[in-house]
Amino acid sequence: MASVWNNRISVSVFGEAQGPAIGVTVDNLPPGEYLDLTKLHHFMERRTGLEETGHSFCQVMSGIVNDRTTGTPLCAFLQNTAPQAPDLSRLSRLPRPGHADYTGAMRYRGFDDARDGGHLSDRLTVPLCFAGAVAGQILERRGIYTGAHIAEIHGIRDAEFDHVHVTREELLAVRYKQFPVIRNALGRRMQEDIAAAAEGGETLGGVIECVSVNVPAGIGSPIFDGLENTIAQLIFSIPGVKGLEFGAGFDVAKMVGSQNNDSFYVDEHGYVKTMSNNHGGILGGISSGMPIALKVAVKPNSSIGAAQETVNLTTLEGEKLAAESSRQACTVPGLVPCVEACVNLALLTHMLDYPHFTG
């Protein structure tokens, strides 16, 4: 099924945006892993704040005893504190431009829950964040850290992580900022631009940069089970994502081979490293030991403060949708932890094959 991701670790997301609850089941986690539930809650609050999504704190139903994983399915759900009553007379007839209303209606023959996007809503990234936060805690006890920040909004660019020398401390310095950027002054400019867009009824997209450090060489596989493949599949589960690049990304098309290649050397600790990191820490689908570096492009929120043209699916005649009064001018800040969560899950599922991972 589309809502189940299975690659050693299994993640199953359930619920609808305006249903009674949303949640996740994670299976095949290693047993005996300590989980700090307070840290899990803090990670999920970064998604936008549970109060803003209308959902309460995640309730863990199974898979943890005495703060340790049991090895059986870990299930958690979030209750919707104020679900909307269905308005099927309008939602099933008038698809909103930029949303998945029309494609969802075609895929599920008109029987889907159309309220606020239903199962196709970005609210389903909240339980995904829970699964990724669990994976992150397991990885961090093994020294592997993932961090992300807003790299760009509407042409305003933050500083970037150094893809060769970035440290755990630099990643953590951004993690719990209210507005996750490296340079606070640039973050204030972004926030001003977002506020101006909101005032004008518009929305903005942006770019998120994510880096993982201390990932050992040899994680992943070639062809269909590459580390890039797994990360990409999870990243594109986030609604609104329209682009993904690793390392130098599309800039490699402008280079010659000698510019693109990352020369090898042995560092002072005896580890094989590369002088640059255009490959983004992955070669042939397998980690090289350099930081895993990627960027994610996010489209503007499709809910805008202006009337839009659509088609009445009952009469097949054109109609005009009124401006949406409840909207986020920019969803990018809340998607930063979602990107981290997806990378955490991808790394953990491949790390299970790594020698001496358990213990």
Q: How high is the pLDDT of residue 254?
A: 96
Question: What tens-digit pLDDT sequence spans the chain (359 residues)?
Answer: 588 999 999 999 888 877 778 889 999 999 999 999 999 989 988 986 544 555 556 789 999 999 999 999 999 988 877 666 555 556 668 888 877 778 877 777 766 766 665 666 778 888 899 999 999 999 999 999 999 999 999 999 999 999 999 999 999 999 989 999 999 999 999 999 999 999 999 999 999 999 999 999 999 999 999 999 999 999 999 999 999 999 999 999 999 999 999 999 999 999 999 999 999 999 999 999 999 999 999 999 888 888 889 988 888 889 888 887 667 899 999 999 999 999 999 999 999 988 877 65
Q: For residue 82, tell me if it sits in a domain.
A: yes
Q: For residue 199, tell me if it sits in a domain.
A: yes
Q: For residue 180, tell me if it sits in a domain.
A: yes
Q: For residue 143, tell me if it sits in a domain.
A: yes
Q: For residue 22, tell me if it sits in a domain.
A: yes
For the stretch 60-96, pLDDT in tens is 999 999 999 999 999 998 887 766 655 555 666 888 8
Q: What is the dihedral of CA 62, 35, 79, 325, to 10 degrees?
A: -150
Which domain CATH number covers 108? 3.60.150.10
Q: For residue 359, tell me if it sits in a domain.
A: no
The domain in which residue 86 lies consists of 4-351
Write down the pTM of the prediction: 0.93
What gap in Å lies between CA 194 and CA 206, rounded to an integer? 11
In the chain, the number of structural domains is 1
Q: For residue 357, tell me if it sits in a domain.
A: no
CA distance between the termini of the chain? 33
Cβ atoms of 127 and 13 closer than 8 Å: yes
For the stretch 112-124, pLDDT in tens is 766 665 666 778 8
Q: For residue 358, tell me if it sits in a domain.
A: no
Cβ atoms of 61 and 102 closer than 8 Å: no
